[in-house]
Amino acid sequence: MTELLKISGLDVDFDTRRGTVHAARGVSLTVRPGEVLGLVGESGAGKSTIGNAIVDLLESPGRVSAGSILFEGEELRGRSEAEMRRVRGDRIGMIFQDPQTSLNPLMTVGAQLVETIEKTNGKISGAEAENRAIELLEQVGITEAKARLLAYPHQFSGGMRQRVVIALALAGDPDLIIADEPTTALDVSIQAQILDLIKQLCRERALGVIIVTHDIGVIANIADRVAVMYRGEVVETGDVAQILGAPTHEYTKSLIAAVPRADRKLDRFSSVDYIEGGTTPFKRIDIQTHWLGESQRERGSGPAIEIENLDLSFTLQKALLKRNRKMLQAVDDVSFTVNEGETFGLVGESGSGKSTVARLIAGLYRPDGGQIRVIGQDVVSHPKSATARTARRALQMIFQDPYSSLNARMRVLDIVAEPIRFYRLTDRESETRKIVGDLLDHVGLGASAALRYPHEFSGGQRQRISIARALASRPRILICDEPTSALDVSVQATILNLLKDLQQELGLTMLFISHDLPVVRQMCDRIAVMRNGGICEVSDTETLFSAPTHEYSRHLLDLMPRMDLLGEA
Amino acid sequence: MSHEQPQERPQDRPLTRWQRFKDNDIIWSFLHSPGAMIAAAITVFSILACLFAPLIAPFDPFDPSQISLWDGKLPPAWVEGGQPQYLLGTDNQGRDMLSTILYGGRLSILVGLAAVCLGMVLGVTLGVISGYVGGVTDAVIMRIADVQLTIPGILLAILINGIGRAFLPLELRQEFAVYVVIIAIGLTDWPQFARVARGATMVEANKEYVQAARIIGLPAWLIMVRHVLPNTLRPVLVIATIGLALAIIAEATLSFLGQGIPPTTPSLGTLIRVGNEYLFSGLWWITFFPAIALVVLVFAVNLLGDWMRDALNPKLR
* Residue pLDDT tens, chain A, 569 long: 578 999 999 999 888 777 788 888 899 999 999 899 999 988 878 888 898 898 888 887 888 888 899 988 888 888 888 888 888 878 898 888 777 788 888 999 999 999 888 888 777 888 888 998 998 898 888 888 888 888 888 888 888 888 899 888 888 888 999 998 888 877 777 788 888 888 988 998 889 999 999 888 888 888 999 999 988 889 999 998 888 888 888 888 888 888 887 776 776 766 555 544 444 445 566 666 677 766 665 666 678 899 998 888 887 777 777 777 777 788 889 999 999 889 999 998 877 888 899 999 998 888 988 899 988 888 888 888 888 888 888 899 999 888 889 998 888 999 999 999 998 888 888 989 988 988 888 888 888 888 888 888 888 889 999 999 999 988 889 999 988 888 888 788 888 988 988 888 888 899 999 988 888 888 899 999 998 889 999 999 888 988 888 999 888 888 776 666 565 44
Q: Which residues of B touch A406 (CB under 8 A)?
A: 209
End-to-end CA distance of chain B: 11
Check if the beta carbon of residue A304 is closer than 8 Å to that of residue A339. Answer: yes
Residues A252 and A313 in one domain: no
| Measured CA angle at B233 (ends B228, B239), to 5 deg | 140
**Domain assignment of residue A457, yes or no:** yes
Residues A485 and A341 in one domain: yes
Q: How far apart are CA B298 and CA B313, in angstroms?
A: 22
**How far from the centroid of its chain's Cα atoms is residue A272's Cα?**
19
**Domain assignment of residue A277, yes or no:** no
Q: How many residues does chain B have?
A: 317
Q: Do A406 and B209 touch (CB under 8 A)?
A: yes
Name A63's Cβ contacts closer than 8 Å, sequence gap at least 6.
A12, A13, A14, A15
Q: How far apart are CA B114 and CA B127, in angstroms?
A: 19
Closest CA to A415 of B213, B230, B233: B213
Residues A239 and A364 in one domain: no
Q: Do A401 and B213 touch (CB under 8 A)?
A: no
What residue ranges define each of the domains in chain B, with the CATH number in brackets? Answer: 36-62+77-316 (1.10.3720.10)
Among the partner residues A392, A419, A451, nearest to B14 by beta-carbon distance: A451
Q: Do A362 and B215 touch (CB under 8 A)?
A: yes
Q: Do A364 and B5 touch (CB under 8 A)?
A: no
**How far from the centroid of its chain's Cα atoms is residue A417's Cα?**
29
Tell me how crowded residue B295 is: count the other CB atoms within 10 A of its CB: 12
Partners of A95 in the β-ladder: A179
Q: How far apart are CA B108 and CA B265, in angstroms?
A: 11
Q: Do B5 and A418 touch (CB under 8 A)?
A: no
What's the CATH number where A344 sits? 3.40.50.300
**Domain assignment of residue A330, yes or no:** yes
CA distances from A464 to A81, A416, B204 (A): 45, 11, 22
Check if the beta carbon of residue B283 is closer than 8 Å to that of residue B73. Answer: yes
Check if the beta carbon of residue A475 is closer than 8 Å to that of residue A396. Answer: yes
Q: Residue A177, class by beta-carbon neighbours within 10 Å (0-12 exposed, 13-18 middle, 19+ buried)?
A: buried
Q: How far apart are CA B273 and CA B276, in angstroms?
A: 5
- Examine the fold and report which residue of A257, A280, A309 is the final residue of a domain before the chain moves on: A257
Q: How far apart are CA A218 and CA A348, in angstroms?
A: 19
Range of the domain at A304: 291-559
Residues A249 and A295 in one domain: no
Q: How far apart are CA A473 and CA A72, in angstroms?
A: 62
Q: Do B8 and A277 touch (CB under 8 A)?
A: yes
Substitution target in A276, A315, A399, A407 with the highest count of B β-carbons within 10 Å is A407
Q: How far is A134 from chain B (nearest CA, A)?
A: 37
Residues A228 and A313 in one domain: no
Q: Please report how the helices B229-256 and B153-167 are oriented relative to each other, as an axis angle in degrees rounded to 10.
A: 80
Q: Residue B62, class by beta-carbon neighbours within 10 Å (0-12 exposed, 13-18 middle, 19+ buried)?
A: middle
Q: How far is B10 from chain A (nearest CA, A)?
A: 8
Minimum CA–CA partner of A60 in chain B: B1
| Measured CA angle at A523 (ends A517, A525), to 5 deg | 100
Residues A211 and A331 in one domain: no
Structural element, H or E, at residue B231? helix B229-256
Residues A248 and A314 in one domain: no
Q: How far is A396 from chain B (nearest CA, A)?
A: 7
Q: Do A392 and B217 touch (CB under 8 A)?
A: yes
Per-residue pLDDT at A153:
87
Residue type, A81: E
**Domain assignment of residue A170, yes or no:** yes
**Domain assignment of residue A116, yes or no:** yes
Q: Do B4 and A21 touch (CB under 8 A)?
A: yes
Q: How far is A363 from chain B (nearest CA, A)?
A: 7
Q: What is the largest CA-CA distance in chain A?
A: 82
Q: Do A392 and B10 touch (CB under 8 A)?
A: no
Name A444's Cβ contacts closer than 8 Å, sequence gap at least 6.
A278, A279, A280, A281, A282, A464, A494, A498
Residues 456-495 of A with CB under 8 A from B: 456-458, 461, 466, 469-470, 473
Residues A309 and A233 in one domain: no
Domain total in chain A:
2
- Examine the fold and report which residue of A257, A276, A309 is the final residue of a domain before the chain moves on: A257
Minimum CA–CA partner of B211 in chain A: A364
Q: Do A455 and B6 touch (CB under 8 A)?
A: yes
pLDDT exceeds cutoff 90 at B198: yes
Residues A414 and A547 in one domain: yes
Check if the beta carbon of residue A148 is closer than 8 Å to that of residue A142. Answer: yes
Q: How far apart are CA B86 and CA B75, in angstroms?
A: 8
Residues A108 and A200 in one domain: yes
Partners of A512 in the β-ladder: A345, A480
Check if the beta carbon of residue A345 is closer than 8 Å to that of residue A518. Answer: no
**Domain assignment of residue A35, yes or no:** yes
Q: How many residues does chain A have?
A: 569
Per-residue pLDDT at B5:
40
Residue type, A523: M
Partners of A210 in the β-ladder: A37, A178
Give SS3 for A331: strand
Per-residue pLDDT at B222:
93
Residues A357 and A495 in one domain: yes
Residues A246 and A357 in one domain: no
Per-residue pLDDT at B2:
37
Per-residue pLDDT at B95:
81
What does the CA dihedral B236, B239, B241, B245 come to, rounded to 10 degrees? -150
Structural element, H or E, at residue B136? helix B135-150
Per-residue pLDDT at A19:
77
Q: How far is A145 from chain B (nearest CA, A)?
A: 37
B262 preceded by a cis bond (ω within 30 of 0): no
Name A189's Cβ contacts closer than 8 Å, sequence gap at least 6.
A349, A555, A556, A559
Tell me how crowded residue B215 is: count the other CB atoms within 10 A of its CB: 24
Substitution target in A280, A387, A403, A456 with the highest count of B β-carbons within 10 Å is A456
Give SS3 for A20: strand
Q: Which residues of A touch B314 (CB under 8 A)?
A: none
Q: Do A407 and B227 touch (CB under 8 A)?
A: yes
Structural element, H or E, at residue A201? helix A188-205
Q: Residue B166, class by beta-carbon neighbours within 10 Å (0-12 exposed, 13-18 middle, 19+ buried)?
A: exposed
Q: Which residues of A touch B208 (CB under 8 A)?
A: 399-401, 404-405
Q: How far apart are CA A96 and CA A46, in angstroms?
A: 16
Q: Which residues of B touch A359 (CB under 8 A)?
A: 211
pLDDT of B230-244, one tens digit each?
888 888 988 898 888
Q: How far apart are CA B217 and CA A506, in angstroms?
A: 22
Per-residue pLDDT at B8:
41
**Domain assignment of residue A274, yes or no:** no
Mean pLDDT of B146-152: 90
pLDDT of B82-135, one tens digit each?
777 777 878 777 788 888 888 888 888 889 999 999 999 999 999 999 999 988
Q: How far apart are CA A341 and CA A507, in angstroms?
A: 5
Q: How far apart are CA B123 and CA B190, in angstroms?
A: 4
**Domain assignment of residue A568, yes or no:** no
Give SS3 for A149: coil
Per-residue pLDDT at A122:
72
